[in-house]
């Protein structure tokens, strides 16, 4: 399963890159799929935030993303950092009190607001104090309408006009003469396809998490356990905890710590987005099963060894050890995206430290390098006789978790 999107550059009068509009796609065909705006927005944010990385999609420039009224009211824009995002209000959204309140709230939080494919109505004047950009379809908007819009926003000099669908030099020149300062269209570049390996989380696990987090007194232990049995959810949780939406990036050593850093409110928002973004349920089953087995095996070794304050770090090391294969990218790239502790990164990137010793022993055992595994156990003062029992328990645990997720 892959995540697909297209991006089209937005340029200033000197043709300097200002940002990219991100356009949802559901395959290699560079056309918008037959889905509604809510689903397109949800899946685009889910993919750019948790699979690809927004900075990879936009080369570090702001992303222009369309939002429906529903996705605005659910607070989806705030899942992305305000420096990363220009909130585009879809042309199908009608101006009203709920929309105005949502726009005001986003503006107070420092977000940039744009009206997409703007259809001029006098009622939009209430929004002008909070709007930064107005995007106009230059191909299908008359000169009289453009002049009417310019007159309407004359008292609001902070608003920039964006000319969309600029397809020729003459149109570009005419737009500049009319006072447009930002430009987008085929004259500069057609939408460019990008794709990334996507990891759709288990519907069963998501449903369970939504239930657990809906209670007043959330059971953190139970929530942690659900995340620990789903490598996809764990990866997405860590990506989100490391996103620009959070100013302080704490080093994270366990799933529980990531949940505490996130907080109950943000966790609920995160889960509702994933649930709304339901994509294919295809999974690299064997890789995920092996990740779970490694995670539990490492944790059992750490518990027996008794040298770690929190054996959850060993669990997380094992779980993340196959993420490069699951995502089809280097471990260096994966680790750059996740707020993991130095000890875990050292174990995964350099095979250095106590966590690496656990992981190395586990890999040696699963690959039938018995002598190496026994030597590793001896060096840690562990009995070689424990290894078969630990492996069997880890294997049984992973099979049990996979069974739960397949119900």
d(CA 341, CA 253): 5
What is the per-residue pLDDT across 76-119, written as a single tens digit (0 to 9) for each? Answer: 888 888 888 999 998 889 999 999 999 999 999 999 999 999 99
245 near 79, Cβ under 8 Å? yes
CATH class of 200-407: mainly alpha
CA torsion angle 124 128 130 133 (round to 10): 100
- Contact call for residues 175 and 166 (beta carbons, < 8 A): yes
Highest mean pLDDT among 70-79, 149-158, 204-213, 266-275: 149-158
Q: Where in the chain is the domain with CATH 1.10.3210.10?
A: 200-407
Percent of the chain with pLDDT over 90: 36
Q: Is 159 exposed, middle or buried (0-12, 13-18, 19+ CB in 10 A)?
A: buried
Residues 173-208: tens digit of each pLDDT: 999 999 999 999 887 766 655 555 555 556 667 767
Please provide the average confidence, as pLDDT, over all residues in the chain.
Answer: 81
pLDDT value of residue 98: 95
Q: How far apart are CA 182 and CA 90, in angstroms?
A: 18
Q: From CA 127, how far away is CA 98, in angstroms rounded?
A: 12
Q: What are 288's two structure tokens?
A: 């995920």
Q: What is the largest CA-CA distance in the chain?
A: 85
Q: What distance lies between CA 211 and its chain's CA centroid?
A: 22
Domain with CATH 3.20.20.450 in the chain: 2-196
Do residues 344 and 258 lie in contact, with contact meaning Cβ atoms separated by under 8 Å? no
Correct CATH for 2-196 of 3.20.20.450, 2.60.40.10, 2.130.10.10, 3.30.70.1450:
3.20.20.450
């Amino acid at each position: 399963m892959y995540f697909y999107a297209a991006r089209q550059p937005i340029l200033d009068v000197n043709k300097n890159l200002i940002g990219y509009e991100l356009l949802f796609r559901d395959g290699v065909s560079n056309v918008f799929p037959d889905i509604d705006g809510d689903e397109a927005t949800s899946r685009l944010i889910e993919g750019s935030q948790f699979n690809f990385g927004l900075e990879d999609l936009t080369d570090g420039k702001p992303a222009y993303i369309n939002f429906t009224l529903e996705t605005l009211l659910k607070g989806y824009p705030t899942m992305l950092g305000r420096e990363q995002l220009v909130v585009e209000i879809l042309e199908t959204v009608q101006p009203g009190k709920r929309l105005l309140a949502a726009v005001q709230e986003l503006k107070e939080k420092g977000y940039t607001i744009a009206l997409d494919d703007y259809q001029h109505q006098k009622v939009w004047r209430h929004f002008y104090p909070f709007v930064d950009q107005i995007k106009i379809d230059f191909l299908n908007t008359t000169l009289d309408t453009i002049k009417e819009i310019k007159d309407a926003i004359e008292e609001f000099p902070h608003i920039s006009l964006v000319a969309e669908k600029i397809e020729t030099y003459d149109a570009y020149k005419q737009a500049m003469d009319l006072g447009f300062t930002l430009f987008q269209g085929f004259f500069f570049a057609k939408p460019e396809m990008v794709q990334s390996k996507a990891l759709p989380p288990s519907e069963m696990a998501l449903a369970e998490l939504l239930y657990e987090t809906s209670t007043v007194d959330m059971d953190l232990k139970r929530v942690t356990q659900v995340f620990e049995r789903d490598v996809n959810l764990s990866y997405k949780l860590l990506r989100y905890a490391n996103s620009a939406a959070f100013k302080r990036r704490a080093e994270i050593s366990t799933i529980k710590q990531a949940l505490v850093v996130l907080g109950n409110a943000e966790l609920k928002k995160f889960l509702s987005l994933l649930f709304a973004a339901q994509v294919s349920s295809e999974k690299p089953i064997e890789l995920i099963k092996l990740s779970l087995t490694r995670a539990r095996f490492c944790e059992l070794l750490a518990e027996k060894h008794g040298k770690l304050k929190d054996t959850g770090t060993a669990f997380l090391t094992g779980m993340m050890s196959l993420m490069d294969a699951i995502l089809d990218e280097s471990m260096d790239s994966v680790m750059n995206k996740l707020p993991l502790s130095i000890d875990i990164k050292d174990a995964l990137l350099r095979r250095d430290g106590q966590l690496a010793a656990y992981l190395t022993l586990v890999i040696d055992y699963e690959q039938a390098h018995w002598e190496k595994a026994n030597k590793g156990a001896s060096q840690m003062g562990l009995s070689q006789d424990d290894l078969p029992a630990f492996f069997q328990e880890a294997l049984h645990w992973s099979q049990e978790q996979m069974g739960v997720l397949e119900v």
